[in-house]
Chain A
Amino acid sequence: KQEVTQIPAALSVPEGENLVLNCSFTDSAIYNLQWFRQDPGKGLTSLLLIQSSQREQTSGRLNASLDKSSGRSTLYIAASQPGDSATYLCAVARDDYKLSFGAGTTVTVRA
């Protein structure tokens, strides 16, 4: 059974600092890995999707890396803003598209 772990569980930084969020998974036989953002009481917003054959994906201030062999992914958010405050979820997909989620990292960016 795939286990997904996210560290740290919570993170508080001053505005402008770079954020580093970590995700690890136990089974390297994945189809893809996704990073999501979830605001309190809301659904999920997909941020980045990395296919198993890729090493990284970038979108604006966001960059996600994937090291499948070691079972790790890292989400980097550059020059954080208060609007980046949210919970960030990592999820890995099997080839049947079923997702296993981590518990999330709750980020607070202080103005």
Chain B
Amino acid sequence: GAVVSQHPSWVICKSGTSVKIECRSLDFQATTMFWYRQFPKQSLMLMATSNEGSKATYEQGVEKDKFLINHASLTLSTLTVTSAHPEDSSFYICSASVLEQYFGPGTRLTVT
């Protein structure tokens, strides 16, 4: 139980385009989902907290207009990287919370 999926697992896009990443809790409902990014050989940094039916809460230093988060249902949250640039290339991981956090497999974004 407590499986979280992410789609796509990897994506390559051109600079200036937007990319949407989906995070789904497959066998449970999660009122809260979290989005993290991870640079090579570094740890996970929390980007934002996503609550179903309300606006996401962003961590300090994270541009809310660049990283749009939508939590439309208790099983789905999406992260859209708008006007992506090469410095946005990273590993993005989501988690869904039910007392503890269950993590998705991650999405590797490469912006060329």
Contact residues of B: prevailing secondary structure: strand
- Distance of B50 from chain A, by nearest CB (Å): 12
**B103 at interface (Cβ–Cβ under 8 A)?**
yes
Which bucket holds chain A's interface residue count?
Answer: 20 to 34
- Distance between Cα atoms of A74 and B42 in the complex (Å): 20
* Given A41-B108, A98-B34, A99-B34, also A46-B43 (CB < 8 A): no
A98–B43 CB distance below 8 A: no
* Given A43-B93, A49-B100, also A101-B106 (CB < 8 A): no
Contact with B along A76-109 (1 / 0, CB 8 A): 0000000000000101010001111111100000
- Distance between Cα atoms of A41 and B6 in the complex (Å): 14
CB within 8 A of B46: which of A36, A42, A89, A98? Answer: A98
- Distance between Cα atoms of A16 and B12 in the complex (Å): 41
**B70 at interface (Cβ–Cβ under 8 A)?**
no
A-B contact count (CB 8 A): 49
**A34 at interface (Cβ–Cβ under 8 A)?**
yes
- Distance between Cα atoms of A105 and B22 in the complex (Å): 29
B46 contact set on A, CB distance < 8 A = 98-100
- Distance between Cα atoms of A36 and B42 in the complex (Å): 14
The residue in chain B whose Cβ has the minimal distance to the Cβ of A104 is: B43
Residue numbers of A with Cβ under 8 A of B are 32, 34, 36, 41-46, 49, 89, 91, 93, 97-104
Q: What are 7 A-B contacts defined by CB distance under 8 Å? A: A36-B103, A41-B106, A43-B106, A44-B93, A99-B44, A99-B101, A102-B43
